[in-house]
Structure 1
Amino acid sequence: MLLARDPGISVVAEAADERQAVKRVAEYRPDVILLEAGLTELIQELDRSVPSPPATVVYGIDAMSPERLADLVRGNVRGVVHRDAANDDVVHAVHAVVDDGGFASPELTACLLQAVRAGCTPLGVDHRFRELLTERENGVLALLCQGLSNKAIAAALCVTEKTVKFHVSNVLGKSGVSTRAQLIAAMGSFTTPHGHSIGARGA
């Protein structure tokens, strides 16, 4: 019901169990799958059963080890939404994934950073890639690492969402990862060449 109220989202199918979900995905070929946190094993089944499975948003995440969360974002999961997040975060996550980005609730960024500190997210991002970024791209990176959506970044920088999408795409391309969640996990907390601290809220 929440997604169906959004004019930019079409709910094409629902599934009552794992087997039905695989069937629905194969039949309707959705752009995004919204999956409850207790059903994440379905992700591997979809990888085995469906050619080019759609991106996944996992919602309702609460108790999860940093290792498990890192495993999710290394796979086809492009959005992770905490159990206590606002309902709008689910909608924002779906839009972000459709826009070729990603979404991580601020409540989960600390867990992602723990995975980095524990060495369980070897995504291979060289922090020196920031030297390749323009000043505006570094500004977008700072806000992106706070878990902000494209819309929120656009409001903060007084630019259009289309401009933000362009900059986010450039940042991800130069970093070598494909999603926001992966970038947050890989970057951790660090200091930019200009001396501004970049980190994730909740860390």
Structure 2
Amino acid sequence: MLLSQDPGISVVAEAEDEAQVLKRVVECQPDVVLLEARLVQVVQELSRVVPDPPSALVYGIDAMAPERLAALVRGNVRGMVHRDAANDELIHAVHAVADDDGFASPELTGCLLQAIRCGGAKPGVDHRFRDRLTGRENSVLSLLCQGLSNKAIAAALSVSEKTVKFHVSNVLAKSGVSTRTQLIAAMGSFSSPQDDALRRRTA
């Protein structure tokens, strides 16, 4: 009911268990699949049943072990919403994931950082891929790793959101990962002098 009230969201199906989730995804081909925390294991199966699985948004999370969180990041989870989040935060998360921006509730930041620190969320990106990026792609990557949305990156670089999406796609292709969440996790605390300069300029 909550999602249906938003004019920018169309609820195309509902499911009660993992089997129904997989069936509805095949039938309806949604852009985003919104999962309760108890159903997160289905994320690993989505890529098996459809060649281009929808982005997953998990809600109702309280706390999560770094290893379990890392497994979600390696999957197609692009958004995580805390169980105490307000209704408008869930709506915002759906839009963010649909726009490929990704989302995580502030309460889950500690779990995310712990997963990155322990190395469990890193999908094995060789940071030398940055040598193959153009100057603008490196700028986009640096801002992306600070958690900025496409809209914020566009404003910081004085370009359109469409241009940012183009650069993000190129960066993902050259890095070898499929989602910006995976890329951010893989980069971890890696930084360069250019990153520091961008942080000062956009602070």
Q: Secondary structure at the match of 1:130?
A: helix
Tell me the number of residue pairs that the alignment of Structure 1 and Structure 2 aligns: 197
Deviations 1:25-78 (A, max 9, x none): 233222221112222123345555x33343311123230011111101112323
Give the corresponding residue for 1:3.
Answer: 3
In 2, Cα distance between the equivalents of 1:86 and 1:134?
40
Amino acid at match of 1:68: R
In 2, Cα distance between the equivalents of 1:87 and 1:170?
34
Structure with the higher helix share, 1 or 2: 2
Q: Does the 8 A contact of 2:122 with 2:187 survive in 1?
A: no
Give the corresponding residue for 1:178.
Answer: 178
Q: TM-score, structure 1 length as denominator?
A: 0.78
Q: TM-score, structure 2 length as denominator?
A: 0.78
In 1, Cα distance between the equivalents of 2:113 and 2:125?
14
Amino acid at match of 2:57: V
Q: How does 1:21-40 map to 2 (within 5 A)?
A: 21-40=21-40
Measured at CA, do residues 51 and 140 of structure 1 come closer, stay the same or move farther in structure 2, by a change above 3 Å?
Answer: closer
Deviations 1:58-101 (A, max 9, x none): 123230011111101112323333445565554454445444x3
Q: Secondary structure at the match of 1:196?
A: helix
More relative contact order, 1 or 2 (CA 8 Å, 6+ apart): 1
In 2, Cα distance between the equivalents of 1:114 and 1:197?
26
Give the corresponding residue for 1:127.
Answer: 127
Cα deviation for residue 186 of structure 1 reads 0.7
Give the corresponding residue for 1:67.
Answer: 67
Cα deviation for residue 120 of structure 1 reads 2.0
Measured at CA, do residues 150 and 163 of structure 1 come closer, stay the same or move farther in structure 2, by a change above 3 Å?
Answer: same
In 2, Cα distance between the equivalents of 1:22 and 1:133?
37
RMSD: 2.9
In 2, Cα distance between the equivalents of 1:87 and 1:142?
31
Aligned residues with identical type, % of pairs: 70
